[in-house]
Structure 1
Amino acid sequence: MIRKLLDWAVSNPLIVMILTTGLIIGGGYAFTHVNIEAYPDPTPPIIDVVAQFPGASAGQVERQVTIPLEVALAGMPGLDTTRSQSLFGLAQLRNQFTYATDYWQARQEVLNRLGSVTLPAGVEAGISPASPIGEVLRFTLENPKDPETGKPVYTLNDLQSVEDFIVERELRRVPGVAGVSGVGGTVKRYEIQPDPNRLRHYGIKLEQLEQALDRANANGSGDNLVQGEQTSVVRSLGQFGLGHDPQQLVLGLQDPVEAAKVLRAEEARRCLEIRQVVLATVNNVPVRVDQVVDGGPVLNADGTSRVDDATLASRGVIVGQKTRLGLAAISYPRTGADGKPLTTADGATVWQDEEDVVQGIVLLYKGEKSLPALKGVLAKIDELHASGKLLPGIKIVPYYDRTTLIDRTTVTVHENLVVGMALVTAILIMFLGNVRAAVIAAINIPLALLFAFGVLFLRGKSANLLSIGAVDFGIIVDSTVIIVESVYRGLTHDDAHGLTLAQRITKSAGAVQRSLVYATAVMVCALLPLFTMTGPEGQIFGPMADTYAFAIGGALVLSLTVSPVLCFLILRNVKPKPDNFVVRSIDWLYRVQLQGLLATRWLVAAGFLAAVVATGATAATMGREFMPELEEGGLLVRGTFPVNISFDEVVRHGTEFRRFIQSFSEIRVIPTTVGRPNDGMDTGGYYLLQANLPLRAQEEWPVDKTRGRRRTKKELIADITVGLEERFPGVPWDFSQIIRDNVLEALSGVKGENSIKIYGPDLDVLENTGMEVRDTLNMVAGVQNASVYRNQGQSNLEFYVDRQKCARWNVSAADVQSVIQSAVGGKAVTDMVEGEKTFDVTIRWPERLRADEQAILNIPIPVGNTLRADNQFAMGNTPISGASIGLTSTGNVMKLPSATGSSFNAPSLDFDVPSRRVGDLVTPLGENGLPDPKASFVRPGASTIYREQGDRLIAIKFEVRGRDLASGVAEARSKIEPMIHPPYRAEWSGEFQQMEAAERRLAGMFALSMILIALVIYLAFRSFLDAAVVLANILAMVIGGVWALKFAGLYFNISAAVGFISILGVAVMNGLLLVSTFNGMRAKGIDLRETLLEGTGKLVRPILMTALAAMLGLLPAALSTAMGSECQKPLAVVVVGGMISTILCLNLVPVLYSFYGKRTPPEGAGDFAH
């Protein structure tokens, strides 16, 4: 079949050239249009479920939200693991499916299950759009400054509203965008702050206030009315603000200050409408909300305000905000008129600080392409700026996007590609001694890559750093080199009188057809582990395996079609001539040293055996890791403060953090966040301070004065760590990168490179055990930054509702719960509709009446009692029922203040009523969980409850530095596992777990690959001895690869394993050609010694040429230190080292063959010779 293809190609050169032109055009189009990603996504389908339960403790969230969701989601098809976190007001469940599961099917299954879950009132579970590598852009909303005061024009409520209802909705229209997660800002709500004394004075219960507000805020419909020939829809309009959006009134304004004034006036008008709501009527006089709120009435008798807008909305009925879950701040270099960053006299950057901003994070769906989506997002941002949909003066300012990472890594890959191709071409010219022949061989490198890109493009796949940069051109063009070298040798050495040029070319190329078949079969078997990889390593190296397969397959087809045609067209006038000086010199040197080695073959064999033993010992003690850390061009810094720290305190520390980081000019911008996003897409409490720090390009880094050179990234991290530990003693600081951090958390459920998970039922025992494990880890050499993800430490103010006390005063437990919720946390009773926006209208007591424990204990509780009024209102025996009761600590009655106001002109009123307070109806709980009047209401509680597969756990994260991961974990495991006793158990997670799993999978597939290769070799020679010699050649290349890793100071990892797999095919092919040549010469009766010398000399050029081409093709990647070279470096080093040991192959195979070569070779065992 191969001979027929060769004959057809040489006979139809025009068709071949047309097809080649089509390949160039189509492949070129694919090359310029295929999507490029920096790194492949190593995670399986993961569907995050988020449910917010505002105000609920971690334990309450676990019991009422997390566990019901876990039960409902259990047993889904393809579900591998469910991990959950329960913390203040939030439940997050991460459902990890198997790699074989389709993402969208998994997502739909989760949605189906969520529909059957019963959760507490007001709690809804939804799917988070986040994916581990889906974060592609971060931005802030620029708040214009008032030119007179220099203060921000708009409130954080305004900015958050713009992001939630305008920016996010518009960006989600971009194909591929899953959502926008907002960090910082405040969510607006209207708050009614009742005065308990005024409520009591007017006999108004909280329930009355809630019902009145809800009923007063609605539109009604009267169906339609026919009037003559027209029909009108009958409506009654009662919504606050008529449901109009105040922001629509200012979009046409040019002055942000004027726009802000309009917004504040509209908010004040809505507060006025709320104050006008009538709660009750006494003697035909209305009692309005205005009269029962903090600060007293501010309305005239006709319902108009007698104060200005600012005063109207400052007390009693205000525009407030929901409880803040997080804060974002940013520092960026201040620029001059020329747009360049300003610096001080000593070269330091001048920074601009924004202490409270609204930040947005654009997230893509899993599997979406970054560059097209980013292009669409940036275009949409420009469109928003030009559309006038944003408030006047507000701008969307990106400060990080994935394009920077992709561009930097792509530059690294392109440089390595160009240099590698140039070196391969130079090697071909040097060995062939003919520029035309070298160009014919080298031209298949770009053609094979274009073929691979074309297939990737047609399949809709993306290229990435590994799939392009780790492909070895020398290995790709092995088939081409064999064909061209055979043809060139045939044209310059063979005496072929009577044959046409086309016949000579097909004869020379056909001479190696059988070797090509077996070499291709061996290459397929060698790459089998790559094609069958699963798990994270399969996701990472799968695209590279595809590209390898397409490129090698394309190169094989090209070598059988294009290369012979080019030889026919270009090598017409090649005259027979001897090898060039370089080849003759190498051949002479090789023959001389081979004669000496054959004379001492027993010593050579012993030396080889010693080298195998030494290499085995070195490999056994070589450090192991999962994958080298991929450089992303940034730093993710995370500080974990005590879990019960206040929000304001961490914000203050965040400001101090930014001030310190400003001293490092390597950092481009300094954004920080405290807490978590408002949508709950990331978990964390107030104790969490994070900074995603984009770095400048390394060539822009300043010279460090103390070192006299630029800092390395490791030195930068070390210097930052020292400064942080001095400024924040006792606070653990973690350093990572945003994609890496997200991926590690997605795979293990823990933010950290490695972790120990301890499973068990009791949170206290887990906490204590975790602390002990952390202390033990800190004593292990090489283990750094060990810290516990604590589940305890959050202080709770817990009021146990004493039912006996409630029964004594005819108060239900629900009454107490409702009052505490409304008075302290705030209770939403209706909605403020503003166009397409909706905000809560909430009842919440003034801060001074709920500021501390004693204030909460003094909250009044309405008592179900009936009193009779005196006759000053001429009401006779009208009962007054359910009034809020005055308070004293002893339960006595107290005199009420007189009730006077603009709308209530009755005589002063004194009620004598029983008084009860929260403190009279609740009891503290003791350590045993039972009521104990002597105990304290302040009790320790859970901060975050972690669960996995239905079991509680605590995680201790750690890093291994200065030693390999495997040995560090092995030592730690030996010390820690004896500390864990049933029913508690420990599991090692993170990179170590992934490494062990990947090594097990690769070991099995590698063994199968070797068995198949051995079978192919045996089928080729029908001799166990020949097969054993060829397989021994693999050991020769492994020796080179292992010692190359050793001398480069690298650990064995999955990237290095892929490198060893890559050189298997080359090692086997070289041995196969040598043994086949020896067998062919021996079959002709040639003496064994002459066979070894002449046969090996004949193959010195093709073997060294292919080996050097493979080595130099990846040499730039092996030496590169630029961003994006980390992952391909171990692979490249192994290939370079293995190819260097090819010189050992050229000596080893003849020496081993000499021990048995006098026997008559099996029939057909020499058909590979050419």
Structure 2
Amino acid sequence: MPTWWKGFFNVYQLQSMKLILFALRKPITILVVVAALFFFGIGALRSIRVDIFPALNLPVLYIAHPYGGFTPEQMETLFAKQYINVLLFVNGIKSIETKNIQGLTLMKLNFYPGTNMAQAAAEVSAVSNRAQVLFPPGSNPPFIIRFDASTLPVGQLVLSSAVRSNNELLDLANLYVRSSFTSIPGLLSAPPFGGNIRTVVIKADPELLRAHNLTADQLVQAIDVNNQMAPSGNVRIGDKNYITPVNTTIRDVKDFGNIPIYKGDVQNLYIRDVATVEDGADVTAGYGLVNGKRSVYLSIAKSADASTWEVVQKLKAAIPRMQAQLPEDVKLSYEFDQSVYVLNSVKSLISEGAIGAVLTGLMVVLFLGDLRGALIVVMTIPTSIISGVLFLNLFGQTINIMTLSGLALAIGILVDESTVTIENIHQHLDMGKPKRLAVWDACKEIAFPKLLILFCILAVFAPAFTMGGIPGSLFLPLSLAIGFSMIVSYFLAQTFVPVMANWILSGRPHGKEGKTGGFDRVRARYLRFVDRMMPYRRPIVITYLLLTSVVAVFLLRGIGKDVLPKVNGSQFQVRLRAPEGTRIERTEEKTLKTIAIIKDIVGAQHVGITSAYVGQHPSLFSVNPIYLWMAGPQEAVLQVGLDEHYKVNLDDLKEKIRARVDSILPDIALSFEPIELTDKILSQGSPTPVEVRFSGRNKKNNETYALKLIDRLKKITYLRDVQLGQSTHYPAISIDVDRVRAAQLGVDINDVARSLTASTSSSRYTDKNIWVDQKVGNSYSVQVEVPENKMKSLGDIGEIPLLRNAARPVLGDVATIKEDTTYGESDNLGAIPVLSVTANLNKKDLGAATKDVRAAIASLGSLPRGLTVEPIGMSQTLTETLDSLQTGLVVAIVVIFLMLAANFQSFKVSAIVLATVPAVILGSLLLLLATGSTLNLQSYMGIIMSVGVSISNAVLLITNAEHLRKDNGNAQLSARESAALRIRPIVMTALAMVVGMIPMASGIGEAGDQSSPLGRAVIGGLVASTFAALFILPLVFAWGREKSGTASVSLEPEDAASREYLAAAGMQHWH
């Protein structure tokens, strides 16, 4: 052993002994420290933020730019392409994804990891302001927001009334409910969903306009000059300073009907003569439905640095106060609460931890026959967990599904720390030593091996600090939770356990009576079995290594793979697509029929709530599509919350819904979408687990090959809801103006455009006009439009008046009007057009689906130049996650190998310790397969933890065997003696961890589906590694070290243990 390593070893041995000595000399101090950890840990439990996911810090910004009435292709060319040109000046942009529908451009800006997002947001805001000069006149400024996984909606605040319209509810929600959110820290909310913006609507009658030789644009101009916002000045008369308000703004809505259309004419016409005036709403874009009735709801989100649990609880507490501000007929309720996911996970951890601690205590009693020792072990578990929460809080982490998984995993390994110490104390008591001496010798003996074990387990999770992207953001908090709890547990095992052992353990030996005698018989049989195997150690070890490695690789390739375990919850979300261009009224009818079908399948009494949004969002609510994307009036998104006590397999239920809807509503295409926040976050915006993107300059090629892939994917039996993600054949009415003919009639394109805007949309965007409601103190737009029911045919469109002159031209005089098709949605990646194909899975893992989808893509053959086809969304996340975890596991094993080699000063001994790793991986995979679980983030964590525990058991056994071999020079005898000595602690800790993990593995907790694969992977790995440690490891050691010498590898000539040592006489000779 070299001097530097020997020095480290000796220094640590001395320091660890000092720690134990300090604890034994000052036991009250140790109790104070433990009490402080517990006390401040409880405080941390009360103050730490509770969230669903850790802070992912995804570098993403959104730009939403509305302009009512523009076609998707106009939004693409006039807005999206202009933005792309200026956004290329922003530092750190990785990609720009654009969605363009009628009246809206939505851009998702992805940045490289590590980008300063505050600076990025400032740069994006600056260049977007510069881009404003490139946009059409009347364009509103864009809405720019950093919106990532940390700000996804966590519930809905629903307003319902039996007597009020959706438009009234929306106004109440905007004025009185949403404005109250400022009193709730961390709460964010988009404008209300489901209603339309209150507006003064001047509904022009086309027939009356024609009768009076008027155009709708003339009404707009008359309103502009008769309803204006003007500042009030001051008049100073005598000693008074008067404010001079003028009624330039009309105060009563009815008075808009009295606006004269002409100036100077005695026989004048008024607005009321050719139009009706309503205190109404903008052109209807969409409806909100709650329990089948039109309603309004607010999508509740929280800021990235806020606690989901706190925000939701404060919102619920504020609901009575908000309710008091609303009319009595309006009811306010909070639905689709996602924070219960965190609560269920916390409940699950507490119940599993309590059951695990009790079962662990029973195992200690079973093996040692010592209730007091079991009590000591059980006492250390909650202290370590609570202290782990304290340090998580100090390091800015939150309680979320990953840290909870880490703490749940830590419970198992925490058992090992204290159990090994108590068991070793019992061994020394059985030697007849006094209790004080037995405690001291036992703790001193295992101090360094336990530190080495701690380092090995921490090393398993060290790669979390080098992972990037989503895997790194998820894995790091889990690793910190385990690390902090482990470190505290080690401290307790070295201080608290010896103190409590001195105080409450019985000093009598447990040698040959009771349960120990029974275990001695088990030990004797075990040794006889090992003795029979020992002569055949070489073929047995080779067979073991080959068999476990080959089978593990085979299973690893064949086992199902997912990002996270599938959760069979009580909520689901489905998107309905009617034929392109279907009116929202018809889409609403089909949505209501779908709700009725669902109630018929599950029983109306089992449906807790249904919530749907039908159609597009109002153009002014440009942020709403970020929360919920809606591509047109033919789409509806339906959320269903089933009764909590109604148990059903969601996959089977979805199959029934698909079949029933297909038979009753054959023109409806369904696509089930993620509703759980975990799935929404990991999908990064993809609506389904399978999404394939086609990108290329030629839009026809994109569509042709996308349709070919759809045909191939529909032949894959487990794929469902296979469809094109965008609308490519939206019905249109093409209006081709003959400019020569128009000029002959005195009409120009401006006259046509302005008349068409008022007749097919409204004047809201082309001519801004404001009315102030004095009663509520709020302003609203005034717009001129032709009622939708007045435009029923191409003939009606052709009769739109264009100009007031002797010729009285109408649109049909200057234009050819015919039916056509256009793009209902035009998407881009950068400046390149894209299409996507989406599909869901039915009882199949994402890994197998990704493989089959890639094969289907390959079957398309040679693609045209410039066309790129690639899977995105969850498939991409799965690949990144598993690659990171596999690389991390390999790195961890290499780090452990090198660390063990440095400790034992032998690469061979280090390799012997790692001989149980193949058994761990094989055991975990076998149990996952047997229970129908997949390889996912949670089960991978279980495998990694099992590797750490197996190495800890191997370290205990091999450290002792190597020490004995150096004393007696016989590797076979040393392996046998070490196995005899370590069988009880290995079996105890393994069984204690296994029974501690049974509640988690059974999936019976509140969040059982999410955590059960983790517990199963740990149990499978532990069982296999225990058998390998007891039956294979002694053989590996005996074979690997049988020809090794006992001299140190030190090269120091003055080291007496080294083969290079020179005797004193020889040294004098050379000197």
Partner of 2:1032: 1148
Q: Deviations over 1:167-199 (max 9, x none)?
A: 122224421112234221232222223456766
Over 3 Å counting, the alpha-carbon distance change for 1:74 and 1:1062 in structure 2 is farther
Partner of 2:452: 518
Q: Deviations over 1:477-517 (max 9, x none)?
A: 43333333333322342546xxxx65653332122222123
Distance 1:518 1:1035 in 2: 21
Residue 752 (structure 2) pairs with residue 845 (structure 1): no
> Bigger shift: 553-562 or 844-853?
844-853
Task: Please state how far the C-alpha of 1:777 moved relative to its aligned partner.
Answer: 0.8
Structure 2 counterpart of 1:1049, from 914, 924, 932: 932
Structure 1 counterpart of 2:253, from 245, 270, 275: 270
Q: Which has the higher helix share?
A: 2
SS for the counterpart of 2:975 is helix
SS for the counterpart of 1:280 is coil
Over 3 Å counting, the alpha-carbon distance change for 1:1061 and 1:65 in structure 2 is same
Structure 1 counterpart of 2:572, from 635, 657, 664: 635
Task: Please state how far the C-alpha of 1:918 moved relative to its aligned partner.
Answer: 1.2
Over 3 Å counting, the alpha-carbon distance change for 1:582 and 1:798 in structure 2 is farther
> Bigger shift: 963-972 or 631-640?
963-972
Partner of 2:1067: none
Over 3 Å counting, the alpha-carbon distance change for 1:77 and 1:3 in structure 2 is farther
Task: Please state how far the C-alpha of 1:43 moved relative to its aligned partner.
Answer: 7.0
Task: Please state how far the C-alpha of 1:941 moved relative to its aligned partner.
Answer: 0.2
Contact 2:471 2:884 in 1 (8 A): no
Q: Deviations over 1:839-897 (max 9, x none)?
A: 221122355653322111111222xxxxxxxxxxxxxxxxxxxxx13xxxxxxxxxxxx
Over 3 Å counting, the alpha-carbon distance change for 1:198 and 1:648 in structure 2 is closer
Residue type of the alignment partner of 2:72:
A
Note the 1:167-206 alignment, pairs <5 A.
Answer: 167-195=177-205
Partner of 1:756: 692
Note the 1:226-375 alignment, pairs <5 A.
Answer: 226-241=236-251, 269-271=252-254, 273-282=255-264, 284=266, 286-291=268-273, 293-294=274-275, 316-331=276-291, 353-354=292-293, 356-375=294-313
Structure 1 counterpart of 2:832, from 951, 957, 974: 951
Distance 2:166 2:901 in 1: 75
Note the 1:1078-1097 alignment, pairs <5 A.
Answer: 1078-1085=961-968, 1087-1097=970-980
Distance 1:392 1:59 in 2: 46
SS for the counterpart of 1:626 is coil
Partner of 1:257: none
Q: Deviations over 1:545-576 (max 9, x none)?
A: 11111111111122222112212222374446
Q: Deviations over 1:945-972 (max 9, x none)?
A: 1212332111111234444433333233
Partner of 2:412: 474
> Bigger shift: 445-454 or 993-1002?
993-1002
Structure 2 counterpart of 1:715, from 626, 648, 652: 652
Contact 1:1082 1:1160 in 2 (8 A): no
Distance 1:943 1:764 in 2: 15
SS for the counterpart of 2:968 is coil
SS for the counterpart of 1:752 is coil
Structure 1 counterpart of 2:772, from 815, 828, 833: 833
Over 3 Å counting, the alpha-carbon distance change for 1:1122 and 1:787 in structure 2 is farther
Q: Deviations over 1:999-1058 (max 9, x none)?
A: 322333333222211111111222232122112121222221122222222222232222
Over 3 Å counting, the alpha-carbon distance change for 1:155 and 1:974 in structure 2 is closer
Residue type of the alignment partner of 2:41:
G
Structure 2 counterpart of 1:427, from 359, 363, 388: 363
Over 3 Å counting, the alpha-carbon distance change for 1:472 and 1:1163 in structure 2 is farther
Residue 20 (structure 2) pairs with residue 80 (structure 1): no
Contact 2:800 2:810 in 1 (8 A): yes
Distance 1:138 1:942 in 2: 32
Residue 809 (structure 2) pairs with residue 916 (structure 1): yes
Distance 1:281 1:781 in 2: 72
Partner of 1:382: 320
Distance 1:1001 1:690 in 2: 35
SS for the counterpart of 2:640 is strand
Partner of 1:256: none
Partner of 2:441: 507
Contact 1:456 1:462 in 2 (8 A): yes
Over 3 Å counting, the alpha-carbon distance change for 1:192 and 1:624 in structure 2 is closer
Q: Deviations over 1:317-376 (max 9, x none)?
A: 223321222112222xxxxxxxxxxxxxxxxxxxxx52x222222122234211111122
Over 3 Å counting, the alpha-carbon distance change for 1:644 and 1:324 in structure 2 is same
Contact 1:39 1:465 in 2 (8 A): yes
Residue type of the alignment partner of 1:918:
L
SS for the counterpart of 2:672 is strand
Note the 1:599-998 alignment, pairs <5 A.
Answer: 599-608=535-544, 609-663=546-600, 664-665=602-603, 666-678=606-618, 679-680=621-622, 681-682=624-625, 683-684=629-630, 685-697=632-644, 700-701=645-646, 711-740=648-677, 743=680, 747=684, 749-828=685-764, 829=767, 830-834=769-773, 835-847=776-788, 849-862=790-803, 884-885=804-805, 913-923=806-816, 937-979=818-860, 980-998=863-881
Q: Percent identity?
A: 18
Distance 1:325 1:510 in 2: 75
Structure 2 counterpart of 1:1058, from 930, 941, 956: 941
Structure 1 counterpart of 2:1042, from 1146, 1150, 1158: 1158
Contact 2:41 2:386 in 1 (8 A): yes
Partner of 2:489: 555
Distance 1:129 1:696 in 2: 35
Residue type of the alignment partner of 2:575:
R
SS for the counterpart of 2:106 is strand
Q: Deviations over 1:40-82 (max 9, x none)?
A: 4657243222111111111111111222223333353443332
Over 3 Å counting, the alpha-carbon distance change for 1:967 and 1:281 in structure 2 is closer
Task: Please state how far the C-alpha of 1:456 moved relative to its aligned partner.
Answer: 2.2
Task: Please state how far the C-alpha of 1:730 moved relative to its aligned partner.
Answer: 4.5
Contact 1:472 1:1113 in 2 (8 A): no
Contact 1:1080 1:1165 in 2 (8 A): no
Contact 2:381 2:414 in 1 (8 A): yes
Contact 1:858 1:917 in 2 (8 A): yes
Task: Please state how far the C-alpha of 1:89 moved relative to its aligned partner.
Answer: 1.2
Residue type of the alignment partner of 2:808:
S
Over 3 Å counting, the alpha-carbon distance change for 1:409 and 1:1089 in structure 2 is closer
Residue type of the alignment partner of 1:117:
A
Partner of 2:914: 1031
Contact 1:632 1:737 in 2 (8 A): no
Partner of 1:339: none
SS for the counterpart of 2:984 is helix
Distance 1:286 1:861 in 2: 21
Task: Please state how far the C-alpha of 1:114 moved relative to its aligned partner.
Answer: 2.8
Contact 1:632 1:1123 in 2 (8 A): no
Residue type of the alignment partner of 1:517:
L
Distance 1:494 1:324 in 2: 89
Q: Deviations over 1:240-277 (max 9, x none)?
A: 21xxxxxxxxxxxxxxxxxxxxxxxxxxx412x11222
SS for the counterpart of 1:792 is coil
Partner of 1:1018: 901
Task: Please state how far the C-alpha of 1:1088 moved relative to its aligned partner.
Answer: 4.4
Partner of 1:250: none
Partner of 1:258: none
Partner of 1:543: 477
Distance 2:788 2:908 in 1: 90
Unaligned runs of 5+ in 1: 145-151, 242-268, 295-315, 332-352, 702-709, 863-883, 886-912, 925-936
- TM-score, length-scaled by structure 1: 0.82
Distance 1:1089 1:201 in 2: 112
Structure 1 counterpart of 2:426, from 480, 488, 501: 488
Structure whose alpha-carbon radius of gyration is higher: 1
Partner of 2:154: 136
Q: Deviations over 1:691-713 (max 9, x none)?
A: 1111222xx22xxxxxxxx6433
Residue 77 (structure 2) pairs with residue 63 (structure 1): yes
Note the 1:551-590 alignment, pairs <5 A.
Answer: 551-571=485-505, 573-575=507-509, 577-578=511-512, 580-590=516-526
- Alignment coverage as a number of residue pairs: 1009
Contact 2:912 2:1040 in 1 (8 A): no
